[in-house]
Amino acid sequence: MNIWLVMLVGGLITFGMRFSFIYLFGRFEVPETIRKALHYVPPAVLSAIIFPELFLRDGTLNLSFDNHRLLAGLVAILVAWFSKNILITIIAGMIALLLLQFFL
């Protein structure tokens, strides 16, 4: 298969999956349990993206102080918890990481 065809089919599949439920919703009755479950998509998916970014270095678990991203991430989590402010959290986490990289 040539690369253009691969891209076209890959793009159509990706679009189809993004479109799937957005298109279907409202055309069918959605059970209450599913509606409830959907509220847990953001915390579940986002944590599943965040955890490996913080805990894994080169694919293996790293809980040492060398793991600057874990430490900076924990700082960000604390700041997020108390400030509930997105911008302050990102700035705090970024500064924490740069300082750790610089001094440790």
CA distances from 80 to 10, 16, 76, 83, 92 (A): 37, 35, 6, 5, 9
Would you say 43 or 103 has its CB closer to another protein?
43
Q: Which is nearer to another protein, 51 or 65 (CB)?
A: 51
* Beta carbon of residue 74, minimum distance to another protein (angstroms, whole number): 10
The beta-strand segments (E) located in the chain are 56-57, 60-61
CB of 97 to another protein, least distance (A): 6
Contact positions toward another protein, by CB under 8 A? 1-11, 13-15, 17-26, 30, 33-56, 59, 61, 69, 72-73, 76-77, 80-81, 84-87, 89-90, 93-94, 97-98, 101
In degrees, rounded to 5, the angle at the alpha carbon of residue 80 between the alpha carbons of residues 75 and 82 is 100
* Helix residue spans in 25-67 (DSSP H): 32-38, 41-55
